[in-house]
Structure 1
Amino acid sequence: MTIIIHRIRLLDGVAPDRFETWVRDVDYATCPELPSVLSFSVQRTAGPAAEGHAAAEPPVYVEIIEVSSLADFEHDMQSPPFQKLVSDFDQMAEVVSETVGDRIGDGYRA
């Protein structure tokens, strides 16, 4: 099983609520149409405090995608449902880093 981790930054002027609603209502709902996706979640993290300022920047998001294989996922990326996700996503956010790896064992989940 392959794990893909994206660090995501919202585009200027995009409200976190707009992005988070889209993640819950559209992004998650599309996953069953992508056979290679075994699990998918998006996490909100606090943005870093700007130097010399008490207020934090907008949140930074991290998405974790577990796929059956990179080849299978690359195939799914060509599908109309995935292309629609890309089109929507590109209007709100950008991936600022990507890490790809493999899980060690089954992990733990309560």
Structure 2
Amino acid sequence: MNPNYIRHEETTVSENIVFFLTRLSSKEEQEAYESWVRETDVPTARGLPGVNNYRVVRLEGPVMDGVSSPPYDYIEIIEISDLETYQNGLSGVDPEFLAQFTGFIGEFESVHGCVVE
């Protein structure tokens, strides 16, 4: 078994994960952005070298009372085989794709980490 994976009952999960925390440039862009995510972003991201899984999650609000809403609208969760392969794959992304992404997004942060169990 690949050492970059951990086994959870019947699913295999990558230990290396990249997160993009994004805020739309305008709330009016939500419907168009989510269509773009489904039609363009997901297939492109899942096709990058080193990507094992890719999901975009819309943030809808806090879970507990007294906790403020997050400063972001979406979290992109990218399970990768290793960071270097993923970063090299990003360098080959079509500039038009990046222009579409930045056209929807007001600001974003990206971080990587690994699962702690």
Pairwise same-fold verdict (TM > 0.5): yes
CA RMSD for the aligned pairs?
Answer: 2.4
Counterparts of 1:33 and 1:76, CA distance in 2: 9
What residue number does 1:77 align with? Answer: 90
Task: Name stretches of at least 5 consecutive residues in structure 1 with no aligned partner.
Answer: 49-55, 106-110
What residue number does 1:61 align with? Answer: 74
Question: Quick one: which of 36, 51, 54 aligns to 1:40?
Answer: 54
| 3-state secondary structure, aligned to 1:74 | helix
Aligned CA distance change for structure 1 residues 10 and 47 (closer, same or farther; 3 Å): farther
Counterparts of 2:43 and 2:17, CA distance in 1: 20
For residues 19-64 of structure 1, give each alpha carbon's deviation from its aligned partner in whole angstroms, at most 9, with x where no partner exists. 000000001121343121111000011268xxxxxxx9xx711110
TM-fit CA distance, 1:67: 1.1
| 3-state secondary structure, aligned to 1:91 | helix
For residues 54-97 of structure 1, give each alpha carbon's deviation from its aligned partner in whole angstroms, at most 9, with x where no partner exists. xx9xx71111011111110111011144x433221011114433
Which amino acid in the other structure matches residue 12 of structure 1?
S
Once superposed, which parts of structure 1, at least 4 consecutive aligned residues long, lie more than 3 Å away? Answer: none
Task: Name stretches of at least 5 consecutive residues in structure 2 with no aligned partner.
Answer: 1-14, 63-68
Aligned length: 95
